[in-house]
Structure 1
Amino acid sequence: MEEILSKLEVENQLLRQYADREHLIGLIKYEELRKMFQQIVGNTKEKHIQLSKELDKN
């Protein structure tokens, strides 16, 4: 009985480590996508400002 409980504890720990790892990978991917999106939005804003300035000149 103790052997079964011990094996279940080990399996539970491994599953938790795997879940923690997958969660961290998900957070890293989310952060990378968020940074890319911010960069795209920033570039779009800069282009919009430049176009507005050019239109104001004309």
Structure 2
Amino acid sequence: GNSAGRIDAVAFVESIPFSETRGYVKNVLAYDAYYRYFMGDKPTLMSATEWGRRY
């Protein structure tokens, strides 16, 4: 459903109704952090702006 800007990013991901899609989103975020770490960058899941945004 439409969350109308009431939930944070974590709740948004957890609210994805299809388990395959939800798992895919989690994997993309995790592997992006792993890649950044192995490339010598700071591993982050999302920017500060993304963490503070409501979805």
Q: So what's the TM-score if we normalise by structure 1?
A: 0.39
Quick check: which one's helix share is greater? 1
Q: So what's the TM-score if we normalise by structure 2?
A: 0.41
**Could you say which structure has the greater relative contact order, defined with CA pairs below 8 angstroms and 6 or more residues apart?**
2
